[in-house]
Amino acid sequence: MLIYKILRSSEWADLQEKRQTAGAPVDVADGFVHFSTAEQVAETAARHFSGEADLMLLAFGTGTLGDALKWEPSRGGALFPHLYAPLRLADAEWARPFSLGPDGPRLPDGVL
């Protein structure tokens, strides 16, 4: 199963340079890296990245992340994947640019 992480361009550049990250400021503050499932990623993008440009969507296989990946209740009681470890570029299946249009996120092909 694939799960998804949205990064701003500066966060993406930092991950490419350092090969791993503790995540975005919200991830650091919460103590884990926030992910979304395919069904959750559009709402996550609309809620937390509205008005942002140059976003990257990264896909990760849940099996690659091991025991550090926990499924925990969040928005409306839905289970969201949270990673209690650094996010490593080597674990990404792929990374693709995407944008938020007036009608919401324009997710890359193959996400939904």
Residue 54: give its domain's CATH number.
3.20.170.20
Strands 104-106 and 92-101: antiparallel
Q: Is residue 105 assigned to a domain? A: no
In a domain, 50, yes or no: yes
Provide the number of structural domains found in the chain. 1
82 domain-assigned: yes
Calpha distance 88→101 (Å, rounded): 29
CA-based radius of gyration for the chain:
13
In a domain, 9, yes or no: yes
Close Cβ partners of 17 (under 8 Å, ≥ 6 residues apart): none
From residue 112, alpha-carbon distances to 20, 68, 99 in Å are 26, 25, 15
pLDDT at 66: 96
Q: What is the pTM of this model?
A: 0.91
Condensed to tens digits (0 to 9), the pLDDT of residues 43-57 reads: 999 899 988 888 999
Which pLDDT belongs to residue 104? 65
- Residue at 44 is within a domain: yes
If we measure between CA atoms, which residue out of 2, 8, 23, 1 comes closest to residue 89? 23
Domain that holds residue 17: 2-98
Structural domain includes residue 111: no
